[in-house]
Structure 1
């Protein structure tokens, strides 16, 4: 695991720790079932759904409270997102310097207290205002709850983000009122790091990465954790992503979750989902009595399938890791995997957005959409900041999120992704029925009689004719531009390269509907478009788009369209190109001496907005 020195500890890198330390075999997966998959959003005591909102959650990783509130009002609510997962709000350690950089992101996963008075993301007043604003827009707040542990031994000479003094195993003021504390006897019983990940007792009683492991079997500890969580619930927080759940014994977790209040406004118990990397020692299903579980088997399988363009067999979804649809929270990447196991992330461009769109179209699980900042290859780098602020003990204070800048990636705002949230909400409760395949990289399916979706994980457009249960009519494409016509139980359309087509009841075209998804007759002048290519180069190399048309150099690298980059955006290269649906092209690295290194693999075909070197 790539972490800072043990003295300061990358306490949040639970995924990295789990994946590298687990030596037991993973839970075996069932073969795909050919029967249709039910698509009912789970509603239970452990997973209540907000009235009038969908089940799609976006993880606004490290966004400050004011920015989350603004996003709820301006984008999330209007686009049908049902929830937003926010970073831990409790007082955290302050790490001015680590091997990975100043004020790393993982410092926020080492609690000093349960006070939410001040973190680098804002104050308690700003947090409460965020909760209210999001609720007013139909969006639940999901808090990333760190309840397994407190801090490691590092940085004890500095107060926490709210100014609280502390030492490892000694946390004198848990709520800022002087009424509750933790001392040495509230931890253990191991007081040493986990070494044998095949020993369940050691995994749950010893210290994860040297972090002070709370004795959650203690009535006193449980009372403080419940007080913290219920304080958030009473404020209007609608749910929790529980960090490092597998390190809390099941009976302790059950006692804590069973003590939570009902959520005012939304009603019912909080929606809880647990971070668990299932294995033979502690399976995912150990925690399903207490909420949903993050399905890392799904994440790995879907991300790798889309990365490899092998997606046709995904429509009949197996119970990944033994989790049913109602038990699973699913995702393509999260803040850990994009740093330590990046099978598919935003740097992969259209293919990544296509995988996210598929996740939203498929009925399996409750989806969480990632929204990142650019950490520029530095795994520990904290979020964009305004630097230190006089009188604020939190260190570097997080900057407002600006999706128009290169610092905040904002994957959730991609047209392909945000449009599929509306599709998901429209088809909720319907079954999936496959309608078409074309090789291993193209697939289409119905969702009942209210939705049709097609996915094309190739560099060539797909001329598709398929049967559908959608009523006749003209429909907008929820996953991008254009649309399609349904007539006589058939849909005929062109699915763009590295793109999707998604039609749903309620998404019928208005007067300016283009319809048909027709890219135009080959040979007609095309519209210039901006392309972003993720390419790592050697000093002196440029990236050119070279292809079959004169505009792309007629396969001469020197005459292709040169893309641009700079120190802030590298390895992303951007430029304006002109191509038709049948234009063949490739990326080429052109050296200062005129040398050309051609992208491997087949020629790409047709327009694309975001691509990665060598990936069709």
Structure 2
């Protein structure tokens, strides 16, 4: 019989060292680094053009509900991605239909508890149309439990777990680990610090795949490529600790780039506690690891005192590798992290997570209520998950709760800014700014805190985004007045927060685009993109210049529009996008923009039904001058057919990562925030393969990024190269 949930969690974390309390935590002058594998966003909401990296984890929501949430909440609020449940066919345990049966695969078809393959495809399309990437939970370490007697699945796959038979996938007994290589005849893990047992025996009777075999690797990669074929952008790898790192690297080597031309983003489930090859740090070469350390630390702080959070992150995984979270479906059930059952404390901790900026891809968790740890999500009699209905005490929709949802915009607006102006009452209340862009007060006490704070922000009246929505220069809730010295007197209610940022200035007419200070490179790129002057159209208002946009290569059949990070470009709202006119295959238009202003933008198409198609990543980046200018662009489509591999021999210290950045959009247009992350799997050689446009000359350089966000450019002049008409090319370089 399957062990209870609590027994399973104890087994998975057996041998774990005690988690550091909140007092052992990272330096206050923290600069955030966003994982380079994410690429640029497809859209943006109230963030001044910064990348969107917040992930809404909609645990076991069905596909139609996820699609609606992307369209109505996640996209408009500025979420970068949604994480969804495992989409593969799984065992169906008649009667209770526990939530965990979806973590016991029966087939790699996409008909599951959450909906059909057609509904899955429609969900991904809806999310992409809203500018939200899709990360799927994938179960590739094992299939269904060998101790299960059910041969029924949600999608109709034929299988028999007792005989290790999965004909729809092509797995038979030769596809699984037995004794040997597992040293235990009953195939159980007895020593949780033994690499062999953890990675070659069965995790809780779940049939462990023989991932050393190329045939097994190919089948797993085929499943991941199928998901990418529907537009999936990345994966949360369940039980990644139980897959040898070399096996995972070999599987990933067979996985295609995403439809956006980037490597899929990876979050690996690696429980902490073991050392050496089983430590979370040992898995970072293949991708990010889930932030169990972060979740444990937040629980300790918010159930005790938060005054020590000024150094939160010390002793954790490096910020750029730590896929942080307040909780997930496992941790909320065994009580090792906060959950909806902690009420406003859970909300407050999530708001802090979004404000503080430590870690990559911070998650906002929205699950369902439960009274039993194995309880099914709301479902029909056959176990198929029913639609999510928020506000009923059945589903917990934290992602749309005002304070949390609006803090996603705060997080985007303050990306890359250091934590500063730290304040504490030495009890249980704190406040801090993110540079001169945003400020928050967090009160974990049981009574109101009144104080005057140095916010670091320019003088003005700001919308408190925790309690009000900001649009068109107006706030639906309370406001905060900052004086000419940057001070503000604020009352923060018990178990509550107050937050302001420069994109929510009352009376501003729509939000002030932020300019993120850049780290000066040791060597400035020799050439950077420039705008060509053109004939000035009708005289624009004072302080503005006429910028002409021209794009070729856009898809035929629908009008082309322009949308971007400035108010005049719609602030990433597709409903306010600028309609362009066409002459032949070129679409163009002229817009009055603020002079001397950096901005980002993209081209989109809209059909007669209002459906939006975004060009692929990355965003276009430009700056206006003091006179009119013209930007001549090519639509970022999927026509590029040159595969370029960058192999750079670079010596680094632990925690440093290496990126390549260059003069063309595919290499970030010299924007270090859009640089391409290289893998250290063959250290000291750092490598990545990038799709580049054909017949294109370009310049590039390698950079190092420290965990605190410091950027080091290699010395000397820019490297120069060019692509051919097709095929592949490899650049073998050594750091200079």
User: Which TM-score bucket, shorter chain as reference?
Assistant: 0.7 to 0.9
Give distance in 1, aligned partners of 2:392 and 2:424: 39
Query: In the alignment, which residue of structure 1 is the partner of 2:518?
Result: none
The 3 A distance-change label for structure 1 pair 12 and 208 is farther
Give distance in 2, aligned partners of 1:288 and 1:28: 23
User: What is the CA distance between 1:115 and its match in structure 2?
Assistant: 1.1
Q: Cα deviation per residue 1:93-129 (whole Å; 9 max; x = unaligned)?
A: 01014xxxx000010100011111x211100000001
- Unaligned 5+ residue runs, structure 1? 389-395, 514-616
User: What is the CA distance between 1:443 and its match in structure 2?
Assistant: 0.9
Is 1:174 aligned to residue 168 of structure 2?
yes
User: What is the CA distance between 1:199 and its match in structure 2?
Assistant: 1.2
User: What is the CA distance between 1:10 and its match in structure 2?
Assistant: 6.6
User: Alignment partner for residue 307 of structure 2, among 305, 308, 312?
Assistant: 312
Give distance in 2, aligned partners of 1:260 and 1:29: 39
Is 1:502 aligned to residue 499 of structure 2?
yes
User: What is the CA distance between 1:31 and its match in structure 2?
Assistant: 4.6
Query: In the alignment, which residue of structure 2 is the partner of 1:149?
Result: 142
Query: In the alignment, which residue of structure 2 is the partner of 1:325?
Result: 319
User: What is the CA distance between 1:260 and its match in structure 2?
Assistant: 2.0
Is 1:183 aligned to residue 173 of structure 2?
yes
Aligned length: 484
Query: In the alignment, which residue of structure 1 is the partner of 2:131?
Result: 138
Q: Give the conservation status (yes or no) of the 8 Å contact 1:299–1:333.
A: yes
Give distance in 2, aligned partners of 1:343 and 1:245: 20
Query: In the alignment, which residue of structure 1 is the partner of 2:112?
Result: 119
Q: Give the conservation status (yes or no) of the 8 Å contact 2:379–2:385.
A: yes
Give distance in 2, aligned partners of 1:72 and 1:12: 33
User: What is the CA distance between 1:468 and its match in structure 2?
Assistant: 2.2
Give distance in 2, aligned partners of 1:13 and 1:276: 18
Q: Which moved more, 1:405-414 or 1:73-82?
A: 405-414
Aligned positions of 1:234-253 closer than 5 A? 234-253=229-248
The 3 A distance-change label for structure 1 pair 432 and 174 is farther
Give distance in 1, aligned partners of 2:220 and 2:4: 22
Q: Cα deviation per residue 1:191-229 (whole Å; 9 max; x = unaligned)?
A: 611111121211111100011001111101100010000
Query: In the alignment, which residue of structure 1 is the partner of 2:195?
Result: 200
Is 1:128 aligned to residue 115 of structure 2?
no
Query: In the alignment, which residue of structure 2 is the partner of 1:356?
Result: 350
The 3 A distance-change label for structure 1 pair 426 and 112 is same
Give distance in 1, aligned partners of 2:246 and 2:168: 24
Q: Cα deviation per residue 1:169-201 (whole Å; 9 max; x = unaligned)?
A: 5333335xxxx3333443333261111112121
Is 1:48 aligned to residue 24 of structure 2?
no
The 3 A distance-change label for structure 1 pair 418 and 26 is closer
Q: Give the conservation status (yes or no) of the 8 Å contact 1:292–1:329.
A: yes
Aligned positions of 1:462-541 closer than 5 A? 462-480=449-467, 481-488=477-484, 489-510=486-507
Query: In the alignment, which residue of structure 2 is the partner of 1:374?
Result: 369
User: Alignment partner for residue 397 of structure 2, among 407, 410, 421?
Assistant: 410
User: Alignment partner for residue 425 of structure 1, among 412, 415, 426?
Assistant: 412
Query: In the alignment, which residue of structure 2 is the partner of 1:438?
Result: 425
Is 1:160 aligned to residue 160 of structure 2?
no
Query: In the alignment, which residue of structure 1 is the partner of 2:71?
Result: 73
Aligned positions of 1:204-243 closer than 5 A? 204-243=199-238
User: What is the CA distance between 1:159 and its match in structure 2?
Assistant: 2.4
Is 1:85 aligned to residue 83 of structure 2?
yes
Query: In the alignment, which residue of structure 2 is the partner of 1:580?
Result: none
The 3 A distance-change label for structure 1 pair 338 and 17 is same
The 3 A distance-change label for structure 1 pair 131 and 267 is same
Q: Which moved more, 1:245-254 or 1:501-510?
A: 501-510
Q: Cα deviation per residue 1:283-304 (whole Å; 9 max; x = unaligned)?
A: 1111111111112111111112
Q: Give the conservation status (yes or no) of the 8 Å contact 1:11–1:107.
A: no
Say which SS state the counterpart of residue 256 (structure 2) adopts: coil
Aligned positions of 1:252-271 closer than 5 A? 252-264=247-259, 266-271=260-265
Q: Give the conservation status (yes or no) of the 8 Å contact 1:72–1:133.
A: yes
Give distance in 1, aligned partners of 2:43 and 2:509: 29
Give distance in 2, aligned partners of 1:12 and 1:245: 20
Give distance in 2, aligned partners of 1:197 and 1:81: 37
Query: In the alignment, which residue of structure 1 is the partner of 2:642?
Result: none
Give distance in 2, aligned partners of 1:161 and 1:36: 50
State the TM-score, normalized to the length of structure 1: 0.75
The 3 A distance-change label for structure 1 pair 240 and 76 is same
User: Alignment partner for residue 288 of structure 1, among 284, 287, 302?
Assistant: 284
The 3 A distance-change label for structure 1 pair 216 and 50 is farther
- Unaligned 5+ residue runs, structure 2? 45-51, 468-476, 511-736
Q: Cα deviation per residue 1:402-461 (whole Å; 9 max; x = unaligned)?
A: 003221111222112111111001111111113311123111111111111110001111
Give distance in 2, aligned partners of 1:386 and 1:28: 42
User: What is the CA distance between 1:348 and its match in structure 2?
Assistant: 1.6
Say which SS state the counterpart of residue 68 (structure 1) adopts: helix
Give distance in 1, aligned partners of 2:333 and 2:498: 30
Q: Give the conservation status (yes or no) of the 8 Å contact 2:164–2:207.
A: no
The 3 A distance-change label for structure 1 pair 487 and 267 is farther
Give distance in 2, aligned partners of 1:222 and 1:346: 38
Q: Give the conservation status (yes or no) of the 8 Å contact 1:452–1:468.
A: yes
Give distance in 2, aligned partners of 1:298 and 1:72: 26
State the TM-score, normalized to the length of structure 2: 0.63
Q: Give the conservation status (yes or no) of the 8 Å contact 1:27–1:283.
A: no
User: What is the CA distance between 1:352 and its match in structure 2?
Assistant: 1.1
Q: Give the conservation status (yes or no) of the 8 Å contact 2:103–2:139.
A: yes
Q: Give the conservation status (yes or no) of the 8 Å contact 2:22–2:297.
A: no
Say which SS state the counterpart of residue 394 (structure 2) adopts: coil
Give distance in 2, aligned partners of 1:258 and 1:431: 36
Say which SS state the counterpart of residue 215 (structure 1) adopts: coil
Greater fraction of residues in strand: 2
Give distance in 2, aligned partners of 1:443 and 1:35: 13
Give distance in 2, aligned partners of 1:82 and 1:111: 28
Give distance in 1, aligned partners of 2:131 and 2:405: 16
The 3 A distance-change label for structure 1 pair 471 and 25 is closer
Say which SS state the counterpart of residue 151 (structure 1) adopts: strand
The 3 A distance-change label for structure 1 pair 448 and 405 is same
Say which SS state the counterpart of residue 383 (structure 1) adopts: coil
Q: Give the conservation status (yes or no) of the 8 Å contact 1:15–1:277.
A: no
Query: In the alignment, which residue of structure 1 is the partner of 2:299?
Result: 303
User: Alignment partner for residue 276 of structure 1, among 262, 267, 270?
Assistant: 270
